[in-house]
Every structure is written in structure tokens, then in C-alpha cells.
Chain A
């Protein structure tokens, strides 16, 4: 088993919680894990990425090599495309489609969707809308984690445990909403794959 994942988004959208939850799940198993993240300057509304590598064999590089990523999980549509040079030809592109517009020259949405759909294996999901529906707009990142769950080869319950561990401090209600978000994301992706 080997998964090389790029997490993408805009500073503040919550890619680090995704990494933390997957990390929490994996460290309890015999699998190896490396997770490289960016700190500092890039936190303020700029593009952020994290590299997450999971394998049953020893992992050498902290970075995913260009051209070798099995999956991009992106919290923002334009950001999903920025990391194309990492993605394998047959890798999965899983992205939220609500744009985060904080630059004057943000591209047209239809052009972005065309590029996203143009990739062989892609799942475009309105993570923000689903998070709002369940009354927890800030759980968009967990919707996106859920949407990638079918490809992760990590038992789903372990991701749920990860959410309980990471959000536990914030109270039962927050845990429940994030679990809900995770499930909704997974359901969407599963339906999409069957189609």
C-alpha cells in the first residue's frame, strides 16, 4: 500500500486539520507516514500545500516527487490545478468548487471547471454548500476529507476516531457536525464513482 497525497488550499481553510486527522489515524497502524507542511509567510490568505505520504514500506523523501501523486485533495478549485505537476496521469483530483476569491485576476469559474473535468479522474464537489446544509460552514474541510475517503485505503472508522480526537476538546456538538460532514463527503464521492 502506498498513497502520495497533495493537500491544497488557501491559508486558513483548514488543510492542516485534514493532515492531522489522517496522521492521527495512520500513526496507530503499522503504516509509515510523512507529512510535510508549510508554515510562516504562507499562512495569510496565500496558497498553501501539504504533502502527505502513507506506505507499508519505509518512506524516504518528505516531499512527494513531481509526477507521482496519487491524489490531490483541494479545498479550492483554482488551487487544485496549481499542483498538477505533482499528479500522476491516472491520479485522482478531488476538489471543492466554491472559489475563494481574494485576488483581482481570479479566473472564470467555467474555465476552472473545464480544466478540472478535463482531468481523467476527478471529483468536483460543492463542499461549502454541503457544510452549510448541515449547519456547520466551517466543516467544509471535513466534507472534502470524506470525499477522498474511498480512495485512501484507511478504515473509515479510523478517520472518525481522528475527528473525535482532534475536535474532542471543542465539545460533542462540533464533533458530531464534523462526523456528519465526513459522512456526507464520502456519500457524495461513492455515488459519483458508481455513475
Chain B
């Protein structure tokens, strides 16, 4: 069979399609977006009518996927690591209900925070919720594992996390398709109480979940993805997680690695294999991309097993993405000679595109805010976050999706005037509506800008869930019609826009201003549609 050249994200998606999913659910977020987009653009998915519309946020996506699992069909839900925080409630509880049809939660972590607010490690969530985790080390494994993850999910009636990291998500390699399974038919849970988490039933389910763990551990011990490679030199044993294996191997292309290596790609941890390598070797080096999750578990709180080396004792960097060269000293290898970056090279941060509607919004906002001290503008996540950089210096916060409006409410409660929120349309649909409801209910003195560029631009042009409905939503929430203002962010409207902003700042209550102009990258497409 021909090789397909696929990103790690796409390999997982192809695996899910071939394993017979009936639906993909998700909310965009780098580096996970391409998993969903692959399903969305797949001809097969269209022929089979696999569900493939973006959800409003990760929580709704997770619940929708759980609903499909309830009916006995296989479902995939995709998100970036911080998305799992948003979906944490249904996720943790889905471990208690368990799955019926196979349920994979594909989460892409972003060590080094290439495009994220933090580098949290989703393996923590797996252990926290008692959910097994698969962590592919390459594209073919991402494809193959999807079959095994669905099978495990159905065998033990549990959701399964597939954890990717940026380097695998966004790296291409040739993969071979191996199998094509039929979709499941509707088959409701045999136990009618399975999804009823009333305390009486939840206690029973939780007990079952705990009992399941020893079987899941056994699965890990026998998994083809957890492999013990013996080595002659037992002065060091290496435990690798996911991509860590590649980085160790990369340093041994000329000569085989002399040390035993335990390659771990399936969790819960395979206890017997770990005990074996720890007993056999004098010292243990743990190589994992992301947080020192396994290292922390093995060290324990007292950390009295002195033979462990890794990110926590400084052998490897405490944070940030690993790369093969960084491992060399830990492996007792000569570092490669490395040329310095010449000092004349300057940073080149990303910027708002020329002609971007957000630019004109910020010019107008800055002018209206001239008379106040800096520090009044709470913003959010999206292209418009770049308004922090010069020449705009227009915003003062970016925390998590939706936090702009809620933080502005809290600051206004505290007496800050003016208190301004700046949020994108997709972010508003994701998590901005509920804080706006709070604002209306407590008659907060805030001005919320909802920047409507008709698209989710930051993550590469996905459909925004609220396009065409922003005003109706705000009115429905209870925003006063008089103080719901739509403006055209264009140079030619600058004066008028500044005046509207000033008027709304001076209104004591909730104002919403909607600067509306499409992202310049979709203008042509919108014209064609008309």
C-alpha cells in the first residue's frame, strides 16, 4: 500500500476514521487543530456522514462525544491541552460513567509554549481521573494506537486519552494504513444506571473504576507499546516516554545504545517493567517531553531513591521542550559543537497583518482611552492579543478564554473606571457569554468589545460558532439595545468610532461594542460565497 505523508495529528485522525468513528467533536487549538480538520476534509468522512462540525467549546465537545459513546458508537474528541481544563468536568466524570462505544480524548500538549499560555501535561489528567493514556512516539504509532485505544476503551468501558505533543502533532512522516473497521450500530448501555451519577450509583461506578486499574496496569505491562530493550551496560537504565525514545535513539545512530531502555507509550505505568529496570540498573535516567510527570511519580514525595536522574535534579532542563542535543551530556556523549546566533540577529515577533480589522479597533480604542492612565483593558486569546505589542500597547491581560469580560467585571466591582474587555467573536462563543450574563445581572460598569471578524483567525480560519448572531445573543442575555453598538473598524470611520467608544465609556452600565469587519484572509472567500 502507498505511504501517506501525514502530520502526527492527521495520522491519528486517519486512524480514528479507519477504526470506525461515527463522530469527531472538538474546538480548535494549536497544536491539535489538524486532527479535527483532517476528518472535516476527508471524503470518506463525508461519504459516511461522520459528524464533523466544530463545537462551541471543549466542554460541549466532550459531552457531545460522550453522548455518542452512550449510544454505542465510537467517538473522537480533540482539543489542545488547556482545552482539557475547560472540558475537565465532563472528562473527569466520564471516567466515572465510563464509556459505552469507544471514546478517545485526543489532547495535544505544547511543551515550550510555542502557542499557549502554559505547558501543562495531560498525563496528569489521565492519572487524576484514572483514565488510561496512550502517548505515540511517531506518526505510524499515532495511527496504529488509535485502533488499540478504541478497543481498550470498549473492553474496559473507559474513555482513553491520546496525548500528542507539538513536535509530533506538527511533524509529517509517511504512514501506511492497515485496516478499515465498520462503524458500530446503536447499542445502548446494558446497565441502565451506568450514566446516572446520582451519589448512590456514582459510588458503585467509582469503586468499579478503581478495581479496573489493576487490569489496565496489566494491559500496560503486556502492551506492544511498552517495550524493554535490554542493554549490556547496567550502570544506567533509561526510561523514555513518548517522543523521548526518539531523542535517545537519535544519539545512538552510529552505535547501538549500551544501556537498557524502557520505552513507555501506554499508561497507567507498567509496574513490573519499571521495577525490572530500576532493580537491574545502578541509575535511572527519565526522558519525557513535557512535565516531569513519571519522574515525580517514581521519586515520590520523600524522594529517597537517590538513583533517579531527569528534569528535577537538573540533569535535563526543568521545563521546555526536549531536543536530542540536550540529552548528550546526560548520556555521557560529547556535545556537538554549536555555533552561536550572531548578535546582530534581532527578534521578529508575530504581528497583526497589514489591513487587519483589529488594528483599526485598537487605534480607536487607544485614542478614546488617551485621557486615562494605562492598565484598564482586559483582553483575551486570539489574533487580537497581538495588540499588546507596539505600536498598540493596547491591552493589559490575556489569561484564559473568556477571562476578559469576567476580569473586567471584577475590576469594575473593585472601582476601576473605565473597565474594558476585548474579546474575539469565537472566544465570546466559547466562554464569553456567561460572564456577560454576570455583568448584566450585576449591572457592571464595563464596556465589552466583541471583535467580530467572522472567523476563528488565530488557529487558521475555522468557522466561528456565533457568526451572524452576536447581537441577538447579547440582546438575549439582556444587554440594553441602546448600548449595543456595531462599528466599522476602518480608518475612514475612525472619528465616529472614537466618539462611540467615549460615549459608551461614560455610560454607567454594561455596554457592548461590536467592531465588525472580516479578517483580510477571508474577504475573497466571503465575496465568492455571495
Interface size on B, residues (CB 8 A): 50
Partner of B325, one of A36, A42, A66: A66
Whether a CB of chain A sits under 8 angstroms from the CB of B127 is: no
Give the contact stretch, choosing among B228-236, B333-341, B482-490. Answer: B333-341
Partner of B338, one of A10, A61, A85, A115: A85
Bound state CA distance, A108 and B346, in angstroms? 11
Asked if B170 and A45 sit within 8 Å, CB to CB, the answer is no
Asked if A41 and B350 sit within 8 Å, CB to CB, the answer is yes
Residues of B within 8 A of A89 (CB): 337, 339
Asked if B168 and A43 sit within 8 Å, CB to CB, the answer is no
Asked if A65 and B352 sit within 8 Å, CB to CB, the answer is no
Whether a CB of chain A sits under 8 angstroms from the CB of B342 is: yes
Asked if A40 and B115 sit within 8 Å, CB to CB, the answer is yes
Asked if B115 and A41 sit within 8 Å, CB to CB, the answer is yes
Q: Mark A129-141, 1 if CB is under 8 A from B, else 0.
A: 0000000000000
Asked if A36 and B170 sit within 8 Å, CB to CB, the answer is yes
Q: Mark B151-173, 1 if CB is under 8 A from A, else 0.
A: 00000000000000001101111
Asked if A40 and B172 sit within 8 Å, CB to CB, the answer is no
Closest to B344 in A: A107
Residues of A within 8 A of B349 (CB): 46
Residues of A within 8 A of B353 (CB): 44-45
Given contacts A44-B386, A107-B346, contact A65 B323 (CB under 8 A): yes
Asked if B350 and A45 sit within 8 Å, CB to CB, the answer is yes
Residues of B within 8 A of A68 (CB): 325, 336
Asked if A40 and B458 sit within 8 Å, CB to CB, the answer is yes
Partner of A27, one of B5, B340, B345: B5
Whether a CB of chain A sits under 8 angstroms from the CB of B449 is: no
Closest to B28 in A: A40
Asked if B250 and A84 sit within 8 Å, CB to CB, the answer is no
Whether a CB of chain B sits under 8 angstroms from the CB of A87 is: yes
Whether a CB of chain A sits under 8 angstroms from the CB of B374 is: no
Partner of A34, one of B172, B253, B339, B347: B172
Whether a CB of chain B sits under 8 angstroms from the CB of A37 is: yes
Interface residues of B in 422-450 (CB under 8 A from A): none
Residues of B within 8 A of A112 (CB): 344
Whether a CB of chain B sits under 8 angstroms from the CB of A185 is: no
Whether a CB of chain A sits under 8 angstroms from the CB of B366 is: no
Give the contact stretch, choosing among A98-106, A149-157, A166-174. Answer: A98-106
A84 to chain B, nearest CB (A): 4
Given contacts A33-B174, A65-B325, contact A27 B3 (CB under 8 A): yes
Asked if A39 and B33 sit within 8 Å, CB to CB, the answer is yes
Closest to A45 in B: B351
Bound state CA distance, A35 and B350, in angstroms? 22
Residues of B within 8 A of A63 (CB): 167, 323-324
Residues of A within 8 A of B3 (CB): 27
Partner of A81, one of B168, B325, B341, B347: B341
Closest to B383 in A: A44
Residues of B within 8 A of A115 (CB): 342, 344
B contact patch SS: loop
A71 to chain B, nearest CB (A): 14
Whether a CB of chain B sits under 8 angstroms from the CB of A62 is: yes
Given contacts A44-B351, A44-B352, A63-B323, contact A103 B171 (CB under 8 A): no
Interface centre among A24, A33, A67 (most CB of B within 10 A): A67
Residues of B within 8 A of A43 (CB): 350, 460
Whether a CB of chain A sits under 8 angstroms from the CB of B318 is: no
Given contacts A41-B114, A46-B348, contact A60 B172 (CB under 8 A): no
Given contacts A39-B170, A66-B325, contact A103 B346 (CB under 8 A): yes
Bound state CA distance, A60 and B33, in angstroms? 24
Bound state CA distance, A173 and B351, in angstroms? 33
Q: Mark B309-333, 1 if CB is under 8 A from A, else 0.
A: 0000000000000011110000000
Bound state CA distance, A75 and B342, in angstroms? 18
Given contacts A34-B171, A65-B324, A67-B325, contact A40 B114 (CB under 8 A): yes
Bound state CA distance, A142 and B115, in angstroms? 29
Bound state CA distance, A68 and B253, in angstroms? 13
Given contacts A78-B346, A82-B341, contact A61 B250 (CB under 8 A): yes
Closest to A107 in B: B344
Whether a CB of chain A sits under 8 angstroms from the CB of B249 is: yes
Asked if B344 and A60 sit within 8 Å, CB to CB, the answer is no
B369 to chain A, nearest CB (A): 23
Interface residues of B in 281-332 (CB under 8 A from A): 323-326
Interface residues of A in 99-130 (CB under 8 A from B): 102-103, 105-108, 111-112, 115
Closest to B353 in A: A44
Interface residues of B in 339-371 (CB under 8 A from A): 339-342, 344-353
Asked if B167 and A62 sit within 8 Å, CB to CB, the answer is yes
Given contacts A39-B33, A45-B353, A89-B337, contact A62 B171 (CB under 8 A): yes
Whether a CB of chain A sits under 8 angstroms from the CB of B396 is: no
A125 to chain B, nearest CB (A): 20
Partner of B253, one of A38, A60, A108: A60
A23 to chain B, nearest CB (A): 5
Whether a CB of chain B sits under 8 angstroms from the CB of A57 is: yes
Asked if B342 and A38 sit within 8 Å, CB to CB, the answer is no
Asked if B460 and A46 sit within 8 Å, CB to CB, the answer is no
Pull 10 A–B residue pairs with CB atoms less than 8 Å apart, ordered by A: A10-B348, A11-B350, A40-B30, A41-B458, A43-B460, A46-B350, A61-B250, A62-B171, A78-B344, A78-B346
**Which 3 pairs between the two chains have the least Cβ-Cβ distance?**
A67-B336, A40-B30, A46-B350
18 more CB-based (< 8 A) A-B contacts, given A40-B114, A43-B460: A24-B5, A34-B172, A40-B30, A41-B458, A44-B352, A44-B383, A57-B253, A60-B324, A61-B324, A62-B168, A63-B324, A67-B337, A78-B348, A84-B339, A84-B342, A106-B346, A107-B345, A111-B344
Instruction: Give the B-binding residues of A (Cβ under 8 A).
Output: 10-11, 23-24, 27, 32-47, 51, 57, 59-63, 65-68, 78-79, 81-82, 84-85, 87, 89, 102-103, 105-108, 111-112, 115
